[in-house]
Structure 1
Amino acid sequence: MNHLVAYVPVLHEGYAKFFKKYGGTAYLVGPEFISEEFPRLIRDLRQLPVSDMVRAVQGLGIFEHVEVLTKVVAEKLQKEKATIIMPDEEISHELAPKYFSDCSITYENVFLRWDKPITLRETIVSPNRVISTKELDKKFIQLAKQEAQKSGDWWRQIGVVAVRDGEVLFTDHNRNLPTEYNLHAVGNPRDNFDAGEHPEIYPTIHGDYKDGYSMLDAEDIFKANNIEVVLVQDAKKS
């Protein structure tokens, strides 16, 4: 019988599809593990008490049995050398060698939330074109800096300037879209880090004028909306 082990802070369609694929018995990572081994997850404001999540998952009618994963339960699964399915997440890879070393583990490649490895993944951006930083470009950068001051985001303020044929179409600053509440759905990637750690990771929509790479799904969003990606370089680098 399958034994599915996962951290489930909330329920959404992704979890439901994952559960339906395997069935069997589900074990939801409990507060004993969160407080001792993954304290940063306490910041996740979405998470419900694990006892409530057990009832919610049981109510889906997918599993024969659902219970909280405690260290006592983990020891029982280890002794049974159980067949365990876990989402391919940081938590799973830390729990498995420590508590399920004698078990047969299957890591399911599924996106359920922004865990730390996914958040840190860098994607090389393929710019549509490359230009030099002429005086006009420097003017646009200054406008972007001024616009950034309007942001109400306490963590980071970023301004963006949309330009066509040398004319400014509009300016804007970073904000959560479609609403300020969307982070309650799948969580905030910033919850994986402390202040000053990986400042390049941020979920609000914004524009950057530094060269580099795409984090999260930034490049896909731009190109899906026919936004030209331009790499701005100093003349001496071109």
Structure 2
Amino acid sequence: MTDGTEPPSLVVGDDGLARPAWASVHEDLRTYYDTEWGLPVHDEQGVFERLALEGFQSGLSWATILRRREGFRRAFAGFALEPVAAFGEQEVAELLQDTGIIRHRGKIEATIANARAAIALRELDGLGPRGDLGPGSHLGQLVWSYRPERTPQPAAPAEVPTTSTESVALAKELKRHGFRFVGPTTMFALMEALGVVDTHLLGSHRRGSSGVWAEDGTPA
């Protein structure tokens, strides 16, 4: 505790590295924070996986999703778009019995619908905030086209935003193309996970480590 009432913004581990409290509780969260969260992901399949997991996380803790990640990968064909897009009612019924994932019909059906929508994006023209993404572009390129000019500089957890102008616009664009479970808060969390924005706390050993953003919030 810093003043007897509030937890510290950063926790220094036995390795001498400062992390936010959420990444300092369990080894799996620590590893995820240190090696993956906020590092750039651009490829279509990698972005689709994280989009799906963020959708499943809605209303749950990230630890719950992270500890079922291999179950999700197995259940959803490694998040390869074409196999998931081909899932039908039989696969949905099987997934609803799969204890290795979150058995939520709406989220399962949304993941299948989102695979189909992501495939359809490849054929479309005029995607993105500037309308400059044409046929052959994919989900990863679309998400990254909403990268802001600056990224937040939070010094404490309370200063980390949960939405942004860009996440609102991205959510609207994805919904327009048939994506589900892609609200502005979920899209901001996706942007954080992919490195599109950097919300590592100032003073964290990961701040500015993505190669996308400098510590001062400007492009690297």
Normalising by structure 1, report the TM-score.
Answer: 0.21
Larger radius of gyration: 1
Normalising by structure 2, report the TM-score.
Answer: 0.22
Higher helix share: 2
**Bigger relative contact order (CA 8 A; separation at least 6):** 2
